[in-house]
Structure formats: C-alpha cells, structure tokens
Amino acid sequence: MIAKWSSYARRMGPAWIISAVACGPATLASVSIAGATYGYQLLWVVVLSAVFGATAQYLAARIGIIEGRGIIAATEARLGRGWAWLLTIDAALATYLAAIFLMNALVGVTSLITGLDTPWWGVGYAALIGLGLSRGGYRWLEMACKVFVGLVVACFLITLTQAKVSLEGAIQGLLPGLPPDVDAALMMAAILGGAVHVTIIGMHTYNTNARGWGRSELGLARFDTVSSMGLAFGVYSLAIFLVAASVLHPHQVAVQSASQAALSLGPLLGRAAMAVFLAGLWAATFSTILPTFLAGIYFICDLMHWPAQRGDRRFTALALAGVGLSALGPFLKGGFFLLLPVMLAVGLCGTPLIIAIILYLLNRRETGRDRNSPALNLMGGLALAITTFAAVRFLLSQAGLL
C-alpha cells in the first residue's frame, strides 16, 4: 500500500493544476468576507466546498480517462451536437466572465501596489497574457506566483495557530444553517463556486486526457484529486476562513476591500501584512487568469473540432479575442474584492448542467464495469443538488424574491 501511494505521489499532477486555479483570489475574497461577516456560521459551506470540489473533479477525471476525450466531444458523441453547443455556451460564458473579473482584480491589485490607479493597466496585461498564450513561456513567472501564494497560505496557517479559534463556535458552524440576509445567499454560492465551477470541472477532463491516463490510472486520478482538491484546497480555504472568523469578526471588521482583508495577517506580520497579502493576491490572480483563458480555448476548439495547439491560427485568434475582451474588465464599476465573489456565484449557476451531463455519461450501460459506483453517484447527486440549491437561492436573492 505504501509503495502504491509513493508511486501515485510521483505521478500525480492534473488535479493540482485545477487546485492551483481554485486557490485563487476569488476564493480568498469569498471565505475572507464570509468569515469576517458571519463568523463561523458558514463553516459547513466551506467544508462542503472541498468535499464536493473533490467529488466533481474526480468525476471529471473519470470522463477524461474513460471517454478518452474532453467533455465537449464526449457530450457531442453521446448526446448530440445540440447538447454540445449548449454546454459550450454555458462553459464559455462562465469562463470568459471569470476572465473579465480576474483582469479587473489584477489591475486593482496592481493599482494598490504601485499607487497608480488606472484601468489602462489592463491593456498591458492583455498584451502580455496574449503573447504568453499564443507563444508559450512565462513558466518562471508562474512558478514565482505559486511561491508567493504558498507564502501567503503559510502565513494564514501560522496565524491560525496563534488565533483564538472558538471551538464551540466552530462546532456550531459545522451544523447547516443559513443567515437570513440576502448577502448570505451570495456568499454561499460564491464559496461553493470556488471549488465546484463549470470552468475547472470542464478543464479537468482535458488535463487528464492530455496526460494519456487510461482506465488503469483511475486509482491514481482519485488520489490526485483527493490530495489536491480535498486536502490542499480544503486547508487553503479553511485556514483563511477560520482566521477571518476568529481575528476579524470579533472586532466587527466588515471586509469590503483587500486592505481590510489584509488585517487578518496583522497579528503575525504587523506592518508587513499589507505588502505580503497584496503580493500573494497579485500572484494568485495572475496564476489563475492564464489557465482560465486556456479553458475557454479548449471548450471552443473542442466544439469546432479544431486542434487546441499553439501555432494554429485559430488557437491564436481565440487567445487574442479572449484577452481583448478581458481588457474591458478594469472598467467595471465597484471594488474588485467585492466583485470576485459575485463572479463565483454567477459561475456556479452554470455548474449544475455539466455535473448532470457527467453523471449521465458515467452511468450509461455502455460504460460497462467502469460505471459509477452507488457511493460515487450519491456524492455526485449531492453535489448536483446542493449546487443547484445554492445557485437558485442566489438568483432568487438577486431578483428580490428571497
């Protein structure tokens, strides 16, 4: 058993790419705001986000492995081109909306760091990212971003050991319950959307397929997913949430900006808290926006039967169109830190469709012995039900019907 796990640890990878995207600025903003605003009341949602995130990503990995292709091609082959179009529109809209909001956040953080507040930072970033997508490269910058994000996570973990976490409050927070105000519906949808999002679910089918994993790697895919989305992402979101709930909530700090969220690291870093937090936030945003653009390109290329390869003019055209669209993001009104949870909540509204399609594909009689087990269907069904509930509740709250 130890030898098998050691082998898995050496070969895992695709789900860690997804986990790195999930551990982005939007999740950081969502759990910070939720913890500071509601204390421990939404702890159960944070836990479910890790559980259902791991579940959804493992189901996505099974699609990539069993079908031997991405989710759009698999949907077209099994359900027809109409369903493939519907899923592509759903996934592409959520993905490019996320790219627009992420560019808004990237420019917002840059303005805070440099002191030069202008939306035109987005034009420079769009050119840089477009070049990187069409030509490749910037691996050193992506690695540096991951180091910065890891540093911030470590700071939150250390702060958590020093914070006075209320055991009674945490236990009560594990019991499902919803604060009565409208904003709670947004926060629940945002927290779940950070881990169970149509963009990263769809993207994972391409990642596992690109690795050439076959049915013999299903166990490896499960280990890869549980260790990354279940554990690493879970630790990331729980640490930030608990620090906000135990450090900021008792002082009634209503987090509405990145500078207020940085106060959660004050007990550990003092005056350096702002600089470290902003550096980590910038790194998390930059390292998240690149794969987001790639996911959108994969969806469209798969639908149109185009090769998703750098050097192909259609790939380049999609990359440039995507970054050009995202350059409009910095012109959005409102503070970027509060817009990030909205992005996740809106993205969650497109998630039930892809989960339902994946569950159908993995329960077809033709799938044979690799059909979903009853336990996996139960977990997938719960993920579908809870995400649908959260999405509908969010939409009702926005329509003034909650």
- Residue 312 — φ and ψ, nearest 5°? -75, 130
Which domain CATH number covers 297? 1.20.1740.10
**Which pLDDT belongs to residue 25?**
93
**Which pLDDT belongs to residue 271?**
87
CA distance 283 to 326: 18
One-letter identity of residue 163:
A
CA distances from 265 to 13, 152, 246, 346 (A): 30, 9, 12, 29
Residues 6+ apart with CB under 8 A from 239: 153, 156, 157, 160
**Which pLDDT belongs to residue 36?**
94
One-letter identity of residue 362:
L
Contact yes or no for 20/316 (Cβ under 8 A)? no
Query: Does residue 7 sit within a domain?
Result: no
**Which pLDDT belongs to residue 274?**
92
Q: Inter-axis angle of helices 43-67 and 182-195, to 10 degrees?
A: 40
Tally of structural domains, the chain = 1
The whole-number mean pLDDT for each consecutive block of 10 residues of the chain, a chain of 402 residues, reads 58 78 92 95 97 97 94 97 98 96 96 94 91 70 73 90 91 90 91 96 92 86 90 94 94 88 90 91 90 94 92 91 94 92 96 98 89 96 97 93 77
Query: Does residue 37 sit within a domain?
Result: yes
**Which pLDDT belongs to residue 41?**
95
Contact yes or no for 192/390 (Cβ under 8 A)? yes
Percent helix, strand, coil in the chain, to 5, is 80, 0, 20
Q: Which two tokens stand for residue 395?
A: 């939409």
Query: Does residue 15 sit within a domain?
Result: no
Query: Does residue 344 sit within a domain?
Result: yes
CA distance 304 to 317: 14
Q: How many CA atoms lie within 13 A of 283 on its CB side?
A: 21
Q: How many Cβ atoms from other residues are within 10 Å of residue 114's Cβ?
A: 10
**Which pLDDT belongs to residue 368?**
83
Tens of pLDDT, residues 338-391: 999 999 999 999 999 999 999 999 999 888 888 999 999 999 999 999 999 999
Query: Does residue 226 sit within a domain?
Result: yes
| The residue count for the chain | 402
Query: Does residue 121 sit within a domain?
Result: yes
Residues 6+ apart with CB under 8 A from 77: 67, 69
Contact yes or no for 156/276 (Cβ under 8 A)? no
Query: Does residue 2 sit within a domain?
Result: no
CA distance 67 to 176: 37
Residues 163-192, buried b or exposed e (16+ Cβ, 10 A)? beebeebbeebeeeebbeeeebbbbbbbbb
Q: Which two tokens stand for residue 288?
A: 């998240």
Domain that holds residue 130: 28-398
**Which pLDDT belongs to residue 11?**
62
Query: Does residue 6 sit within a domain?
Result: no
Contact yes or no for 221/62 (Cβ under 8 A)? yes
**Which pLDDT belongs to residue 401?**
82
Identify the helix (H) or strand (E) that includes residue 153: helix 139-162
Q: How many Cβ atoms from other residues are within 10 Å of residue 273's Cβ?
A: 20
